[in-house]
Structure 1
Amino acid sequence: MQDLSNYDKHLENAINWFWDVFPDMITAIIILIVGLWFIKFINRLTRKFFDRKDYDIALESFLMQLINVGLKVLLFVAVVTQLGVESTSLLAVLGSAGLAIGLALQGSLANFAGGILILFFKPFKIGDFISAQGVDGTVKEITIFTTKLNTFGNQVAIIPNGQLSNNNIINYNAEETRRDKIDIGIGYGSNIKEAKDILLQICKEQTTILKDPEPQVFVGELGDSSVNLTLRFWANNEDFWAVHFFVIEELKSRFDKANIEIPFPQRVVHTPK
């Protein structure tokens, strides 16, 4: 009988506790639902604001993520406080947890700081073709912690922002024009002047090759089996690769017609008699 009496007492206490916290639970649920709706509403307003302004796309994405995370943290604090947790105790717990998480996630914090540096100093923007961390690709997205590149093979390379902000980056789209350098070897018996004239004529005929600065051809090296010519010309970024491959194919065709030899490696093997 004593056990049954204790059971009834515990059950009664549990029921009384439930009815005591029930209003706070309902209020917390309402706050959660309304808060999530409000966050979506703020995100939509923020998106519309950015759409009307001509801000950098990467900066817009970064700020959108930051606002979304910040609002959800505030909503979490409001819901937990409504359930009876004191705000001072909650802040102390969050501070301790933040310190522990910060020590455990130093790399992530470095990536976060790197993302801020990238957005502030703008070494590249979305749409730029860059080379970094051994990866070449077009910048697809800049998030809080990482940058996504779209490679030549249409693969997505994800690079931590901390590494990007602390290492070398080559931005091929930073300037409107680029200079190409093509090395061509011709035989020692070939006419150097004729070969140079052919290369300059190709550049003169090709409209996507800039005429100012003028294209240049010079003898770069007297190699073991060839006279190595160097062709340099300028082109706009959007035309660069197309004209690069065109010139290589065209010079081969015209050299063949002019009987200008392009040597290839040969090996002579002598066998004893």
Structure 2
Amino acid sequence: MQEFDVQDSIKGIWDKLGGWLDSIILGLPNFLVAVLVFILFIFIAKYVGKIFDRLFRKQIKQDSIRLMTVKVIKAIVILIGFFIALGLLNLDKVLTSVLAGAGVVGLAIGLALQGTLNNTFSGLILSFLPELQIGDWVETNGYAGSVSEINLRNIVIKQSDNNYVVIPNSKIVEEPFKNYSRTKRSRVFVNCGVGYESDLEMVRDLTLDLIREKFPQQSNEEVEFMYQEFGDSSINFVVRFWADVSKNRDILIAQNKAIIAIKKAFDEKDINIPFPIRTIDFSNKLSLNKGE
């Protein structure tokens, strides 16, 4: 009796495995077709994205919005291909069950990935923010560089030393940032000092004329010269002027040009730009050999 039950069990297992094998063989063509359809839709999404990218280049000036829109369109095309593939596999009921439980699962995932979702929504905000675009030179979170990428998780900044910095989107949204590229012209500051024996009015007029010549000012712009303080070795001043500046390097170039011109003009007029002087006293009033 026991041997009969074992044989029946083994026969039932083999019958079950045979049924599964038959199902796999019968479903193999549908599976291959579903895989091919899904791969086909991936390629379709790629080419559809290129087409829309070309169309949006003419209509949407902001690169971040264009790139984000193209990514969404590609994702929708791939999602359609995924649903069609499931239909070929006769998994419509499974898909319905998955979608029914998606609310609970989505809530759990949302609680577990609060930081990631925060970066995602911040990425959407940044993509449609006109004050920040790809190619802009910005300073934020202690870093400065050109924005090379904006995605749903972070932005990528290329620094002047050719290194890349990845900053989460939430940090950009929550922290202030300075964008040099939003204005074509900015004010540049150059600090200097002259000796106490100098004719201060002559120094002021000479510097103003020099900067106006090197950096022509537009309407409603002017060169400003202000003495700031009586320093230890010099009377210090700052000169402010407008120049074509769209990134930090442009400021350095303008400052370099102004400093060279000021030094050359001061040398021709024998205007002293003093440097700090320290007097060292080597006298030793407490010498032990003083009595000798």
TM-score (norm 2): 0.82
Alignment partner, residue 272 of structure 2: 261
**Which segment is superposed worse, 33-42 or 185-194?**
33-42
The worse-fitting range, judged by mean Cα deviation, of 104-113 and 237-246 is 237-246
- Aligned-pair CA distance for 1:6: 4.4
Q: What letter matches 1:210 in structure 2?
A: Q
Name which of 209, 227, 238 aligns with 2:216: 209
- Residue 287 of structure 2 is aligned to residue 272 of structure 1: no
Correspondence list, 1:57-206, <5 A: 57-85=63-91, 86=93, 87-206=95-214
Question: Match for 1:230: what amino acid?
Answer: V
User: Which whole-Å deviations, capped at 9, do the CAs of 1:149-170 have from their partners, x for residues lacking one?
Assistant: 2211122222211111111011
Task: Select between 179-188 and 237-246 the one with higher mean Cα deviation.
Answer: 237-246
1:136–1:176 distance in 2 versus 1, CA, 3 Å: same
Seen in structure 2, the aligned counterparts of structure 1 residues 149 and 83 have a Cα distance that, compared at 3 Å, is same
Change (3 A) 1:48 1:62: same
Correspondence for 2:53: 47
- Give the residue type in structure 1 aligned to 2:196: Y
Q: 1:223 aligns with which of 220, 231, 240?
A: 231
What is the DSSP-based 3-state SS (H/G/I as helix, E as strand, rest coil) of the residue aligned with 2:178? strand
Which residue does 2:11 correspond to in 1? 5
TM superposition shift of 1:268: 2.1
8 A Cα contact 1:209 1:243, kept in partner: no
In 2, distance between residues paired with 1:44 and 1:119? 19
Structure 1 residues 47 and 174, CA, compared in 2 at 3 Å: closer, same or farther?
A: closer
- What is the CA–CA distance in structure 2 between the aligned matches of 1:32 and 1:195, rounded to whole Å? 75
Cα deviation digits, residues 188-239 of structure 1 (max 9, x gap):
1222122212211221321x43154221212111223321111111112256
The 10-residue stretch of structure 1 (227-236 or 110-119) with the greater mean CA deviation from structure 2 = 110-119
- Separation (CA, whole Å) in 2 of partners of 1:147 and 1:246: 33
Deviation at 1:59, TM superposition (A): 1.0
User: For residues 242 and 58 of structure 2, what CA distance do their matches in structure 1 show?
Assistant: 37
- Say whether the 8 Å CA contact 2:233–2:277 is kept in structure 1: no
| Maintained 8 Å contact 2:57/2:66 | no
The SS at the match of 1:63 is helix
1:78-106 deviation digits (Å, cap 9, x = unpaired): 43454343222121344444333322322
Query: Which amino acid is 1:134 matched to?
Result: G
C-alpha separation in 2, matches of 1:95 and 1:32: 25
Gaps of 5+ in 1: none
1:246 maps to 257
- Per the alignment, residue 33 of structure 1 pairs with 39
Give aligned-pair identity as a percent: 27
CA contact (8 A) 1:204 1:211 kept: no
- Structure with larger Rg: 2
- Provide the aligned length of Structure 1 versus Structure 2: 272
Which residue of 14, 18, 22 maps to 2:28? 22
Secondary structure at the counterpart of residue 54 of structure 2: helix
CA distance in 2 between partners of 1:46 and 1:171 (Å): 29
In 2, distance between residues paired with 1:175 and 1:5?
Answer: 82
Runs (5+) with no aligned partner, structure 2:
1-5, 286-292
The letter for the 1-side match of 2:216 is I
Residues in 2 aligned to 1:229 and 1:78: alpha-carbon distance in whole angstroms: 73
1:237 to 231, 242, 245: 245
